[in-house]
Structure 1
């Protein structure tokens, strides 16, 4: 798929036709943009819905016609934008076909180290929020389109490569979630920004989930102290899991520093630069680059490896009531694919091997207040 600007190509042609009215010019451009949608793989229902969406924007004229048309065209290429979600929601493609289309538009491929790389014409919208409707609808399509979970044995006719790409796409949603919180809210720490996000959006944060898989240790079988009578006893659980109200997006927080724990703090681009930079603009630019997935380029025995192993992961299932024997969706869609199915990249596989998760332990942090107490002691 070749990157072109339909607006730039067609607006001059439309303006040259002096006998046309403004609405006719706009109709010509919208028609061309519909063709672009079809070129990207959208069905007729989605394309028709797109035209109706743009026409409605033009009718109300809250912005100039030129701005509306340019913004709409840009939105076609931003996965998760309001324009893109309109296409996704109104498309009559089957759920699995929708998931495949998103991956194809993002330019999915697995590199030599088994990591999903995205290099397509479309990219994830840098303004998409962790609680966006698109993420909820996409997760629903995964569950409907892949009944039985992202398990190879459940889908003998689906390629292992496809299942692995669907699984790893979650991590790119994670990256966007971190970026959204860090770039849109004020605070001295990631946690303060997360609280600001919660307050401004009305999202109630969920602190109740276990963080066992995000507090990995050097040796397998190590048991965390469950009494917490001393500083040393409590210190071993340093990370807590915090989820959005819908249970899909999650953040792993170091309760002693207030910083997010994520592989995206450590992963580098193929050019050797960290993905997250000091400025919003440079980070957005680096999010378009391929990721260096070679395990040899990372020190997985130290803090880098631990953070890659401890990282968060967007959930296709909410995980509510998953302790019930007949309700194991979170296990099948989110946990087993990275565990027994081995759908993670070589980098994460090796990091988790060097940093196995501990035996069960008592969670220390179940509320915002319990975390705030630790942060105040550390100040």
Structure 2
């Protein structure tokens, strides 16, 4: 948008059209302006660029959401609209860089309607194959699929900052609990956190260092990874450096492998619906999580480098403690049919979290091995969480 005043509807409409909106979205915006008793006729009050920014440049805001939903575009076109407004470009290291005046609304919570709607658009735009398959087909759809995959990390960043900046607590987990309480939503801890407990191949896996928390209990859409020791978020965004122009420094040579655990174990916004303990109330095909989130295109070079199994040293994932059968929906997961030594200690939220934290660090490895065997003996029953294990051995 040019830095000028809008003195009539025609000028405003032209600016909106230049930003990629259609006639229907323009009508939604103009109607909203009129409701605020702001006139565009004659020489009455004008809309300045600054006030326009507040109402229209925040992706996910109430007004933006109304315009976005009303626009007569296909799901793929709506996804492209956001990417264009963010000036989203993939750099030489495969990292999505965004710039310009549009940005995600910092007041948008992790359970926001806009995120649900955006997620549904991704499911509809890429309905038949995995995101990885769409990227391999080349063409404009492939470019959009790749950028959509990479955009999820910016949604993660917005979610993390929303919780950290708007709630009070001794650590991030306490703030997350306060957010859930105030929003009157339930959190989910049921999906496995193997891929967020990677360890360097020159070390051993002793026990989980992090837990996964998803919003909400039924949709499991937004995701947070929490350090079990100090309750702080584990995120790539707490490691990244920035260039002088404000872009992310995506050169993997500028990051130490030993200090890149948060990049390896970072959170990931879910376009599909992960299979957790509780069924989703939203319609979605049974394989959406694997098509859109697991079988995804290549990650940026910085993360792909530190998690690549072809390297001598990399951040490795421990396999789950149970076996999977050929009938499982996990069958395309190359590691799915092998039992490992991983079991989540947190399955029921704060009570599991607190029970695990009460175990002295010097005893955690031994206690975890006994908990692991306890979980194996219970098969085919699910892992009940660490608090129930503690209660059992205490009786």
* TM-score, with structure 2 as normaliser: 0.74
Shift of 1:153: 5.1
Q: Does 1:253 align with 2:221?
A: no
Task: Please list, as runs of the form range in 1=range in 2, the aligned pairs for 1:304-315 lying within 5 A after superposition.
Answer: 304-315=259-270
Q: Per the alignment, in what secondary structure is the counterpart of residue 131 of structure 2?
A: coil
Q: Does 1:358 align with 2:315?
A: no
1:230 aligns with none
2:20 aligns with 41
Given candidates 185, 188, 211, the residue that maps to 1:206 is 188
Q: Which moved more, 1:141-150 or 1:154-163?
A: 154-163
Q: Per the alignment, in what secondary structure is the counterpart of residue 36 of structure 2?
A: helix
1:166-212 Cα deviation digits (max 9, x unpaired)? 10000000000010000000111001110110111112111111001
Q: Does 1:240 align with 2:204?
A: no
Distance 1:261 1:153 in 2: 30
Q: Per the alignment, in what secondary structure is the counterpart of residue 240 of structure 1?
A: strand
Given candidates 145, 157, 163, the residue that maps to 2:145 is 163
Task: Please list, as runs of the form range in 1=range in 2, the aligned pairs for 1:1-379 lying within 5 A after superposition.
Answer: 3-6=1-4, 9-10=5-6, 14=7, 28=8, 30-58=9-37, 71-147=51-127, 148-152=129-133, 156=137, 158-159=139-140, 160-219=142-201, 236-245=207-216, 246-271=219-244, 289-300=246-257, 302=258, 304-320=259-275, 327-337=286-296, 341-342=297-298, 344-353=299-308, 354-360=314-320, 361-367=342-348, 368-375=350-357
Distance 2:263 2:109 in 1: 23
Distance 2:186 2:16 in 1: 36
Shift of 1:334: 0.7
Residues 243 and 321 from structure 1, CA distance in 2 versus in 1: closer, same or farther, beyond 3 angstroms? closer
Q: Per the alignment, in what secondary structure is the counterpart of residue 139 of structure 1?
A: helix
Counting matched residue pairs gives 319
Residues 55 and 126 from structure 1, CA distance in 2 versus in 1: closer, same or farther, beyond 3 angstroms? same
1:276-296 Cα deviation digits (max 9, x unpaired)? xxxxxxxxxxxx921000001
Structure number with greater CO (CA < 8 Å, separation at least 6) is 1
Distance 1:293 1:68 in 2: 36
Q: Any gaps of 5 or more consecutive residues in structure 1?
A: 15-27, 60-64, 225-232, 272-287
Shift of 1:328: 1.3
Q: Which moved more, 1:359-368 or 1:92-101?
A: 359-368
CA contact (8 A) 2:191 2:276 kept: no
Residues 182 and 154 from structure 1, CA distance in 2 versus in 1: closer, same or farther, beyond 3 angstroms? closer
Residues 191 and 322 from structure 1, CA distance in 2 versus in 1: closer, same or farther, beyond 3 angstroms? closer
Greater helix percent: which structure? Answer: 1
Residues 167 and 44 from structure 1, CA distance in 2 versus in 1: closer, same or farther, beyond 3 angstroms? same
Q: Which moved more, 1:31-40 or 1:346-355?
A: 31-40
Q: Per the alignment, in what secondary structure is the counterpart of residue 224 of structure 2?
A: strand
Q: Which moved more, 1:358-367 or 1:242-251?
A: 358-367
* TM-score, with structure 1 as normaliser: 0.77
Shift of 1:221: 11
Shift of 1:49: 1.4
CA contact (8 A) 1:34 1:50 kept: no
Residues 72 and 320 from structure 1, CA distance in 2 versus in 1: closer, same or farther, beyond 3 angstroms? farther
CA RMSD of aligned residues (A): 2.8
Shift of 1:82: 1.3
Q: Any gaps of 5 or more consecutive residues in structure 2?
A: 39-44, 280-284, 309-313, 321-341, 362-395
